[in-house]
Structure 1
Amino acid sequence: MIFVALLHAVNLGATRKVPMADLRALLTGLGLEGVRTYIQSGNAVFEAEPGPALRGRLEDALEARFGFPVPVTLRTATEWHAAAQGCPAHLRDEPVVLAFLRDPPDPARVEALRGRDVTPERWEVAGGTLYQTVPDGVRNLRLSAAVIERHLGVKVTVRNARTVQAIAAMLDT
């Protein structure tokens, strides 16, 4: 089965460096096939046997190799394509980022987050993805990844729509 692995919070500053060549070598060394990466933000595509232990195996190997914990969000190719095409219509008139939720959120927590005023941003959770408009750019988000994590109680990692579409294209080649 083909998977997309999203590494959380790597290569953002002077610390938490995960060179993509090293990531490809690590994943290949774990027996994953067809390993490819996209840009330096920790995106990998590979083939593997599905199973509940895959994410833990990746996280353990990343921490052992790089010396710090690296949460990983996994999506199958089918799930990735659904996310890439799944932006709710009422959000498509502005630039959008996708916050990939590592685990399913509690619906009550999603509803509680709706009570938070993040105007002018708008957002919607569909499946395992929170789609969010970025009218003032990603650096000025009121609904940041940290706020999403705190309110929903799940880890998230954010990718812009261009990255999501580029990875979708990788899955088709």
Structure 2
Amino acid sequence: MIFVALLHAVNLGARRTVPMADLRALLTGLGLEDVRTYIQSGNAVFSAAPETDLRGRLEAALEAHFGFPVPVTLRTAHEWQEAARGCPAHLRDEPVVLAFPRDPPDPARVAALHGRDVTPERWEVVGQTLYQTVPDGVRTLRLSSGVLERTLGVKVTVRNERTVQAIAAMMDT
């Protein structure tokens, strides 16, 4: 089975550095196959047998190797392709980022998110993915990953649409 692993908050500064060559070596050493990475923001594609706690095993290995906790969001190839194709048409008139919750948020917390005024941004949850417009760029987002995490009560990692599409294309090769 093919998986996508998204590492949260790595390579944003000097303190949480995860070189992609080291990540590939670590994942291969864990018995994962066909390990590939995309850019330096902590994106890996690999093949593995489905297992009960693959995410926990990855997080433990990452912390042991790099010396700091690294939350991981996992998606299957099918889930990833759905996310890559799933952006609602009414959000397509502006640049979009995709937020990937590590765990499914409570529906009541998603409802609470609807109560926040984040104008001019617009967003919608489809399946396991939150699609968000970024009319003024990611540096000024009112609905930042921190706000998402606090409101939804789960870890969230965000990728731009170009990255999502590039990872989807990696699975086709």
TM-score range, shorter chain: over 0.9
Corresponding residue SS for 2:118: coil
The equivalent residue for 1:140 is 140
> SS of the counterpart of 1:105?
coil
State the Cα distance separating 1:51 from its structure 2 match: 2.1
SS in 1 for 2:61: helix
Q: Report the TM-score, using the length of structure 1 for normalisation.
A: 0.99
Alignment partner, residue 168 of structure 2: 168
TM-score in terms of structure 2 length = 0.99
2:52 — aligned with what? 52
- State whether residues 77 and 171 of structure 1, in contact with CA within 8 Å, keep that contact through their aligned partners in structure 2: yes
Question: What secondary structure, in the 3-state scheme, does the structure 2 residue paired with 1:23 have?
Answer: helix
Q: After superposition, what is the alpha-carbon deviation per residue over 1:78-134, rounded to whole angstroms, capped at 9, x for unaligned?
A: 000000000011111110000011111111110111000000000011111110000
Runs (5+) with no aligned partner, structure 1: none
Tell me the alpha carbon deviations over residues 12-68 of structure 1, each in whole angstroms, 9 at most, x when there is no partner.
Answer: 011100000000000000000000000000000000111221000000000000000
Runs of 4+ in structure 1 deviating by more than 4 angstroms, as ranges, are none
- Find out whether 1:15 has 2:11 as its counterpart: no
Aligned length: 173
* Other structure's SS at 1:157 match: strand
For the residues of structure 1 that align with 2:35 and 2:84, how far apart are their CA atoms? 20
Q: Distance in 2 between matches of 1:51 and 1:97?
A: 29
SS state of the match for residue 165, structure 2?
helix
Q: 2:144 & 2:83 partners in 1: Cα distance?
A: 19
* Counterpart residue number, 2:75: 75
Does residue 85 of structure 1 match 2:82? no
Which residue matches 1:98?
98
Contact 1:24 1:37 in 2 (8 A): yes
Amino acid across the alignment from 1:56 = G
Distance 2:169 2:18 in 1: 23
Secondary structure at the aligned position of 1:98 is classed as: strand
- Unaligned regions of 5+ residues in structure 2, if any? none
Q: Give a deviation string over 1:130-160, Cα, whole Å, max 9, x none.
A: 1000000000000000000000001110000
TM-superposed CA distance for 1:75, in Å, is 0.4
CA distance in 2, matches of 1:32, 1:51: 12
Equivalent-residue separation in structure 2 for 1:4 and 1:134 (angstroms): 24
8 A contact 1:87–1:131 mirrored in 2: yes
Identity, in percent, stands at 85
In the alignment, does 2:128 pair up with 1:128?
Answer: yes
SS in 1 for 2:13: coil
